[in-house]
Chain A
Amino acid sequence: MVILGFMLIPLVFTFIFGIVFGGQDEETLPRITLLTVDNDKSLISNFLSTAMSQGELKKMIELKPMETEEEGRQLLSKGKASALLLVPKNFGKDILDGKKAEVLLLKNPSEQFLPLIAEEITDTTTLILSSLLSVFSEEVDTIRGFIEMNKLPDTDISAFSVQVKNRIESISKYVFPPVISLQQETITEEGKEETGMISVHGYILPAMAIMFLMFICNVVFSDILIEKETKTLLRLNVSRMSMTEFIWSKIVTSALIGMLCTFFLMGLGVALFSINWGNLFSIFLIVLCLNILVAGFIAFLYSFIKTESQAGAVLSSVILIMSLLGGSMMPVDNFPSFIQQISKLTLNYWGLKAFLMAQMNESFSKLLPILIGMVLAGVLLSFASSYFIQNNLKRGLLK
């Protein structure tokens, strides 16, 4: 019942936060600082930059043009921005020539999800502009002529306007209102894998779930103290089962229960909030690795806990503080950079990052180091706790 209770809380939180923050109240979300280095300085490259600082996007993105790439990289490495957009030379010319052109987006590694959003916005913008290019392919040649002539004759402009108007009318039923209101420029990009978007629910549910996974794991481990009090642990210890086996059975049980709870929550996340968790294989590995880490971490904390009241006070505090720092309660990007560095020491940070990457359909190779890190940390903590808990428990078995 306790575990079921802990499972329901993240759902309730997700529901409430979804209502509060899902209503497009973007002012409450952190603003993304996006640096741009325009090495092309063409009309089209300028359109690309400005496309991302128009309308609703303006509320989310603060665009900062940089003179040089080096200057931009320096600011990025200092954590002053979420991402750096590099527009190469001849970008506009390549587009007008019908060649493939690509822009480069460098993300701030110290931030958790704002760079991912910046990437999404860039992706979406380039995708929209690419689509427009294919629709207005004939008009692009005309535009190119205007640019090359460096003059705009009224008659040509008038004819061009009629042509564009007709074209817009022919496609309006498909694209109005979202595309037309945006831009009139075109850009092509190198074929990229389709990426997903993170919804408010898609952030909050895993964030909360990780925190409550620790509480669930705590319930499993608190049995050790109950068994110590009721003397069944003493009896277990004189049976064939060794204390090492007993502690490892708790760690494995805790990880398995945690996995079941996570999958259950994720299923409800899909059913109730339409969360797209991403690739199933990646998700399975994330859940597995995360729960190994959570079980190892809570087991390690139990190395220093002697009574149930200690467990209640100490563990709850540690879990809550870790969850706050690790992004379970608010996005880590909201914190000053030094706290963001501390955040990286929490399991919430890495677990959440992995979940968000999976939702963004990041490649498995990017996810793998995080998964390996979680498993290694989990296993190391489990081994350490197996040793410490034994000593701790044996001392307390006999009064």
Chain B
Amino acid sequence: MLNISHLSKTFDTLKAVDDISFAIGDGEIFGFLGPNGAGKTTTISMIAGLLKPDSGKIQVDNMDLKSDIQKIKKIMGVVPQEMAFYEELSAKENLFFWGKLQGLGRNILSERTTYYLDKTGLTGRANEPLKKYSGGMKRRINLIIGLIHQPKLLLLDEPTIGIDVQTKLNIYELIREASEKGTTILYTTHNLKEAEELCHRIAIIDNGKILALGTLEELIQIVGEKDIVLFTGNFKTDLVSQIMLEFKDSEVLSISEEKIVLSVEASKNIPVILEAFFKAGLAIEDISIKQPNLESVFLKLTGKELRE
């Protein structure tokens, strides 16, 4: 459904997206995981036709975005990070307006509006202006607007930011249902759990580059059987590097004056590493050990934690 090949975009001197390539199949939920500023929104904006890439190719349903953008718009839905609707209008009016804009007829619109409002528990407030809605309710409407024409490709840019668990689960349900009906979904997030729970495949992106791509299981294999150990404190980087030379089984992922990230077999190596650090006089304030999961993969790949 979606083929991205060697896509790049630079703003002034900042390389926001750096030669990325990936493909997403029909009905797949593809997670685009990365911290703020990683290049997720820039990528999604280029796919939506809002930004012109510097280089690379975007194909949707075997159509080239450059030449067939109007055709692609008909089969694409976009849910931006921000609430993008008319707050003065009611939920029903908004859904009718945006649905009509996507070429839906009155009957089908009426049917789908009823369905989605019911599905999201908003039927009772369908005629209220959206400015009276809570943040979570607005998020649901924001998503439905992108879904109402049942697009073949749905681009979701962090659709669950700042909402309660109940709304989050409701949104996941809608996304899964769309996927089951054949909609391909590109889902950007910086939430590891969300990516783990929802996505069939995940691409980890940082500094405009895709660092790893695969299913959750495939990604976890990157860290193997080793744990990711995080030391925080006050360190001398040269000294730490020297000490770690003695531990051939351990891999140093990143070192700074405040933080050391290691890939080690924790149960076997941590006591001896700790002893070496104490002997060298390093002040350790905290130690945390991550079992192999997406978080540890992210740590291993980027050397930094991904916080919500």
Contacts and interface: CB of A to CB of B under 8 A. Distances in A.
Given A232-B84, A398-B41, A238 B101 contact: no
Contact of A235 (B42, B74, B87, B98): B98
Interface footprint category on A: 10 to 19
A238 B78 contact: yes
B183 interface: no
B49 interface: yes
A237 B86 contact: no
A240 B73 contact: yes
Output the residue of A232, A235, A237, A242 with the most chain B CB within 10 A: A235
A102 B78 CA distance: 75
B98 A398 contact: no
Could you say which interface size class chain B belongs to?
20 to 34
Nearest to A229: B82
B101 A239 contact: yes
A234 to B, nearest CB: 6
A241 B101 contact: yes
A276 B87 CA distance: 45
B49 A238 contact: yes
Interface in B89-130: 98, 101-103
Contacts of B42: 398
A236 interface: yes
Nearest to A236: B101
Contacts, number: 48
A116 B24 CA distance: 74
B103 A234 contact: no
A234 B87 contact: no
Contacts of A236: 101
Interface in B71-90: 73-74, 76, 78, 80, 82-87
B73 A234 contact: no
Interface string B170-196: 000000000000000000000000000
Contacts of A240: 70, 73-74, 101-103
Contacts of A235: 78, 80, 84-85, 98, 145
A239 B86 CA distance: 15
A231 interface: yes
Nearest to A397: B50
A234 B101 CA distance: 14
B33 interface: no
A234 B41 contact: no
B228 interface: no
Given A238-B50, A239-B73, A231 B101 contact: no
B51 interface: yes
Interface of B: 41-42, 45, 48-51, 70, 73-74, 76, 78, 80, 82-87, 98, 101-103, 145
23 contacts: A230-B86, A231-B80, A231-B82, A232-B85, A234-B80, A235-B80, A235-B84, A236-B101, A237-B50, A238-B48, A238-B76, A239-B98, A239-B101, A239-B102, A240-B70, A240-B73, A240-B74, A241-B101, A242-B70, A394-B50, A397-B50, A398-B45, A398-B50
Interface of A: 230-232, 234-242, 394, 397-398
